Amino acid sequence: MDADKTILPMNLTGLFPAALSAVLEALPIPVFCKTEDGRYLDCNDLFLTFIDRSREEIIGHTVYELFDEDKAKVYDTADQELWQSGGIQEYEAHVKSKDGQTATVVFHKTISRIGTTSERIMTGVILDITELRRAEEKLLAAARTDDLTGLHNRKALYERLDAVCQRARRQSIPFGVLALDLDGFKAANDTFGHQTGDHVLKIVAGRLRKLVRETDYVARTGGDEFTIILEGVDSHENRRAIAEKIVAGVAEPIALPCGNETTVGVSIGVSAWTADGKDCRHLLKAADMALYAAKENGKGRVWHATEDHLESEPDGATS
């Protein structure tokens, strides 16, 4: 079938000479052109490769003849909006490439008239921004990750705490905050050196991940300081049980690269959300104050903040 003669409008026949097709082929991105009735007028080979179709399957046909109905409706709706408004249209979409991988692309389309004719054509280009989005995601993740331990950092902790607090207010989902500070870390760091100290922090970080649930949020907030958000833990006893489990787990001996062993302990301050309308970040301060009380009263302890989050009362020592 000769698409130019039998399907395309007669006054558009021959409007794409070889020179213009050569320009399309020279562009390093997929390019396509459509008539106002939605039929493909021309495209370059990169577009054919992108949608995994032959030129014969494309030219003179509409999106409804090339794609499944749902996808065709999305493309056609966007096209109709551009035909009506004119100008330039740009939007981001996720599409599957011929190898089955999902790509993130930007469609950039414009309407123009051909010479002095009244006929309009749509010209579109497809920009593959998959790698750009992946790079952005990596940068965002890096900005919220502690370089040494791979745990969340303070910035990420604040964001998570705000989100958890909003859920607590909307759905009455309880949560607690644990503030942790290692006992004996400075001595181990001074005895074996900073590289060994880094090794100890990595081991402790790994233990913390294993000692809590996957839904709990573990962050490193300082040199040997950590914070954990326990979402959905609804009682003083349960929060205490988790904290005591952490105290026991962290205290296990740590094998060092030099062949020696060392041990560090941990003191923990605990605060709990209450429906009092306060900014949830005050829970961090309350947990910190409870932590200081635990350190002052013998270390290796779990200490729970009082209801006003300013004074503290002991949960007792843990063995």
Cα separation, 198 vs 148, in Å, equals 7
Determine the pLDDT at residue 314.
Answer: 46
Please give the angle made by the CA atoms of 6, 7 and 13, to the nearest 5 degrees.
Answer: 80
Q: Is 88 part of any domain?
A: yes
Q: Is 90 part of any domain?
A: yes
Cα Rg, the chain, nearest whole Å: 31
Domain boundary among 81, 114, 134: 134
Question: Could you identify the residue written with the tokens 């280009």?
Answer: 125
Residues 158 and 303 in one domain: yes
Q: Is 158 helix (H, G, I), strand (E, B) or coil?
A: helix
Q: Is 11 part of any domain?
A: yes
Residues 254 and 194 in one domain: yes
Determine the pLDDT at residue 277.
Answer: 55
Q: Is 218 part of any domain?
A: yes
Residues 121 and 267 in one domain: no
Residues 69 and 160 in one domain: no
Q: What is the DSSP letter of 52?
A: T
Q: Is 139 part of any domain?
A: no
Residues 265 and 126 in one domain: no
Report yes or no: 266 and 232 within 8 Å, Cβ to Cβ: no
Domain span including residue 313 = 144-317
Angle between helices 236-250 and 194-211 in degrees, nearest 10 = 140
Q: Is 121 helix (H, G, I), strand (E, B) or coil?
A: strand
Residues 43 and 100 in one domain: yes
In angstroms, how far is CA 308 from the centroid of its own chain?
Answer: 36
Report yes or no: 65 and 76 within 8 Å, Cβ to Cβ: no
Neighbour order of strands in the sheet with 40-43 = 40-43, 31-35, 120-128, 102-113, 88-96
Give me the number of domains the chain comprises: 2
Question: Could you identify the residue written with the tokens 């962290």?
Answer: 250
Residue 24: which of 124, 99, 151 has the closest Cα?
Answer: 124
Determine the pLDDT at residue 213.
Answer: 94
CATH code, domain with 24: 3.30.450.20
Per-residue pLDDT of the chain (319 residues; tens, 9 = 90+): 344 333 344 444 445 555 566 677 778 899 999 999 999 988 899 998 888 889 999 999 999 998 889 889 999 999 999 999 988 999 998 887 667 788 899 999 999 887 666 788 899 999 999 999 999 998 988 899 999 999 999 999 999 999 999 999 899 888 999 999 999 999 988 888 899 999 999 999 999 999 999 999 999 999 999 999 999 988 889 999 999 999 999 999 999 998 889 999 999 999 998 866 566 888 999 999 999 999 998 889 999 987 654 444 445 444 3
Residues 298 and 194 in one domain: yes
Residues 104 and 212 in one domain: no
Neighbour order of strands in the sheet with 265-272 = 217-220, 225-231, 175-183, 265-272, 301-305, 312-317
CATH code, domain with 156: 3.30.70.270
Residue 233: which of 277, 183, 271 has the closest Cα?
Answer: 271
Residues 118 and 152 in one domain: no
Strands 312-317 and 102-113, by their bridges, are unpaired
Q: Is 123 part of any domain?
A: yes
Residues 107 and 154 in one domain: no
Determine the pLDDT at residue 17.
Answer: 55
Domain boundary among 104, 134, 164: 134
Residues 247 and 154 in one domain: yes
Q: Which spans in the chain are helix H?
A: 3-6, 18-26, 45-51, 55-58, 63-66, 69-85, 130-143, 154-171, 185-192, 194-211, 236-250, 282-296
Cα separation, 176 vs 173, in Å, equals 10
Q: Is 114 part of any domain?
A: yes
Q: Is 15 part of any domain?
A: yes
Residues 64 and 84 in one domain: yes
Domain boundary among 79, 100, 134: 134
